[in-house]
Amino acid sequence: MATLKLFVLALVCLCTNGLPNPPVTRNTIFMDEKIEGQIFEDIDDFENIDYNLPVQSYRLPRTTYPIHYNLLWGVDIERFAFFGTVRIELQPTQDNVSEIVIHSHDLTHNRIELRRNDNNQIINQNNTVNEDLHFLTITLLSGSLVYDPNVTYTLSIDFESPLRTDMYGIYRSWFRNNSTETTVSWMASTQFQATSARFAFPCYDEPSFKARFDIVIRRPVNYSSWSCTNINRTETNVPGFDDDVYETTPIMSTYLLALIVADYINTEPVTSSTGAIQYEVIARRSAIEEGQGAYAMEVGQRLVSTMSEHTNIDYFDMDPNLKMTHAAIPDFSAGAMENWGLITYREAYLMYNQNHTNDYYKQLIAYILSHEIAHMWFGNLVTCEFWDNLWLNEGFARYYQYFLTNWVEDYMGFETRFINEQVHTSLLFDSSESAHPLTNPNIGSPVSIRTMFSTISYNKGAAIIRMTEHLLGFEVNRQGLRNYLVERTSDTARPIDLFQALEAAGTAAGALSQYGSDFSLIDYYRSWTEQSGHPILNVQVNHQTGDMTITQRRFSINTGYANQNLNYIIPITFATSSNPDFNNTKPSHIIRNALTVINRGSTGDQWVIFNKQQTGFYRVNYDDYTWNLIIMALRGPNRTLIHEYNRAQIVNDVFQFARAGLMSYNRAFNILSFLENETEYSPWVAAITGFNWLRNRLVGTTYLTRLETQIVRWASNVMGQLTYYPIPNESFMRSYLRYQLAPLMCQLRVPACLEAATQQFNALVANDTEVPPNSRNWVYCNGLREGSASDFDFLFRRYNEHNTYNEKILILENLGCTSHAPSLNTLLSNIVEENFVIRPQDYSVAFNGALNGGEGNTGIVLNFIQNNVTQVINAFGSASPITSTISRLRSEAAINQFLTWANQNQAILGDYYQSIVSSSESTLQGLLWVNTVADQLDEYFNIGDVLVTSSTSTVPPVTTPITLTPSTLIPPTTPDLPDSAVTSVLSIAALVIAIAINIIV
């Protein structure tokens, strides 16, 4: 028997290691996915970081620590300048400290003084600035600082600087109160995260150096100011200026400070029993007077109240001086920022007009409010120790962005949309082998810190948090989070602090006992946060015995399996046709090894679906026969027994399997054929994403028309129900599905869509009959695409004159749909010229609208760029518009023609030349990719859907599911890539493995 075991084990290893290795040069990430705003925009950032210095070189020494800041900021709007004085009370943390190192950058220092506080002695020192590291170093000329808990020092610095223009530090911004104003008004605002507080005042600009701040803002007498707390009093010390003296802040990090100096007004505030402002919205006068702040006032208060109850920490109990001001900022690159007590937003993301704001922007306002409010607990009260663990802030804020909003505005479908918008997007980004792990200690410089503000930290962080909640159960998970917040209040946290709090709560509640004494929640969490990527589970079902053989491999979007394999500790759930319970999402099993066998508890032909409601962060592929059973179920009358989220999971998975070479496209389309009867939101949104990627690959080929014909046929049922006009009393999610599908139908030239768009647009132009807000995204575009120069002029005038900013952005997104070359050039000129028409933060929105407005626009845009290349690069500060345009070239001849121009203009392109050439090569790869799948597409489009049948009967459950794991099987370090040529070999291998495990264990 022992000999047989060794023989079978050897055969297992041979089958596992003997299959073809992935081709190392295979790539499916092309240029159009790397441009600004696309899924892989930042994917190469870590590979491009310059590591000339060790990461620790950029970190402040921890030899001194701030206790308290007294900070005066003076803002002179007329001179576009700011100035001030900071007095930092500090202490050494050890003996023999002879220098103080803090951050300061792009500031002029007019006076620096160091004083010992207990005897008022001035300490002789000199100072130096390191421009590369952003360090200001104060060096004692003799002796060292006294290391004594009773001895503190005050470092005083006078500083000044122009108001910045890059939307970082303290910067200037312009606005018009209404469209009739011929001149603009100016204001000052701030953005300090992650490393820009040092642009505003000398400070310890790392999140772990927390302190309290007493702030005074000196502002012109005809302006108002706001900061993190309420104003205690206002004084006049300098003619023409008033000093607003603010209450002391909570203990906080420097990146959470903020100020605004503007001619703004507020909504009617909510006040405390003492009359202090607790809650308000501030913005341009005309926006507030129109009532555009009312929605943020109403829903924001409910979000704060709900989050206070959820965490068992009331927001206003965190510190006696706290309030919450939401501020609409005209120019704001960050979108929104969780400054403690003064949360800032782009105006379009905060102000709501029920007559002109569509549901997209309404839900955007709600969930951005939720995101920033959640930060008051996860980020402000408890802060990530350093930016290498940014997900402790942003992962939780993104999670609550959906689920906190869902508790308050449940009709918006955020629980459903989390699948498409967070799980699917992060799975795709994370499928690049260059994706960074959630916890990434290899950062230190400001450039490397910026790369952490990525899809991984936000989307994947939220998805892993959700997976853990389903593992522990909602109540247990909440108790663990409450404990974590209490234990780390007013302090910083590392991942281990979170892990330990959750494990303790899980252990106390018995939520982990079913997974065995060797299960560690800490190890589980580390496997998902310290390792990059995610697994694909290959499930091979023996329908005669019920045994399911599961292998895990790290997934790669390029080669199916990553070149370097990783093992994850994976919570497993599954449902079957005999037990279609998709509601119990607590994992029944935990798998740790490369190979595991679970008995499903029944025998005979029946589908099995892993990952109920896609609560786990992994993909699932099945053996061919099990896929056939799933196809039959999805095509059948009881297809809705399979949960909507799992139908969306299947759509998303098979698109990516076909892209990565794990599944043929004819097989994928056979699975996707159920879309013909699908009417729910998440499967169709997953399909739109998959179809759009494939359509971009097929442009210029005969396959595109055939694919688009198939899409229209599959979508005819759902669009027949939705129609192209709002339906009275329809749900938010039905309207939102139309919002997603109608633009695609118009792109595919569906007559009903084009007719509805033309009719509604013409009524707007001719009769001033407003288009329903939720239809404007596709009506505006198609109205211009089918219209004239006068139609463009009409909509451009509407853009300039409108007082609702999210309507202005919607128009700006669609102005580029015009096919009229002079009109398109007018739009492009207004982007690159310095003016008060289009804001720099909106340049990309307007430019991408022009580029994506229609296939014919690419040539017009490219011609404009070639004639204005210096102006374009200066406006954007990068070559992004050039690379975006390259990604739209549709033939090898067009790419070569462009490269000829680039070679002739290499001197003008300068440092951008090489990236432009690389972008051209990537675009060419995308065009050639279709040749690798042509046979598969031909087979499907020629044959169509294949009839699938089962062969045996189903027997009701007869056993309790158990997990079997081979203790001696070593996973390969270089996993295989199954493609259409080795599918049968894989099936044989899986069968041998299944037999082996049943013998060995």
Residue positions in the annotated binding site for Zn(2+)? 371, 375, 394
748, 708 contact by CB (below 8 A): yes
Distance of CA 709 to the CA centre of its chain: 33
* Ramachandran angles phi, psi of 713, nearest 5°: -65, -45
List phi, psi (to 5°) of 169. Answer: 65, -140
Cβ–Cβ < 8 Å for 909, 593: no
- Asked about 372 being catalytic, the answer comes back as yes
Cis peptide before 715 (omega within 30 of 0): no
DSSP string, 298-320: HHHHHHHHHHHHHHT--GGGS-T
3 state DSSP class of 130 = strand
Q: Which DSSP state fits 46?
A: G
C-alpha separations of 802 from 180, 286, 806 in Å: 10, 12, 10
- Cα Rg of the chain, angstroms: 30
Interior CA angle at 114 toward 110 and 120, to 5°? Answer: 125
Q: Point out the catalytic residue in the list 280, 372, 708, 807.
A: 372
With helix as H, strand as E and coil as C, how does 634-674 read?
A: HHCCCHHHCCHHHHHHHHHHHHHHHHHCCCCHHHHHHHHHH
Q: Which long-range contacts (CB under 8 A, 24 or more apart) does 474-481 make?
A: 475/509, 476/505, 476/506, 476/509, 476/511, 477/502, 477/505, 478/310, 479/505, 479/509, 480/504, 480/505, 480/506, 481/311
Which residues are paired to 164 by β-bridges? 171
Residue with tokens 């929105």: 845
Q: Please give the structure tokens belonging to residue 840.
A: 């720099």
Q: Which residues are annotated as a binding site?
A: 371, 375, 394
Q: Report the alpha-carbon angle 872-875-876, nearest 5.
A: 90
In eight-state DSSP terms, residue 841 is G
Per DSSP, which regions of 19-152 are E strands? 64-76, 81-92, 99-103, 108-116, 121-123, 125-130, 135-140
How many contiguous H segments (helices) and E segments (strands) does the chain have? 33, 33
Cβ proximity of 342 and 228 under 8 Å? yes
Catalytic residues: 372
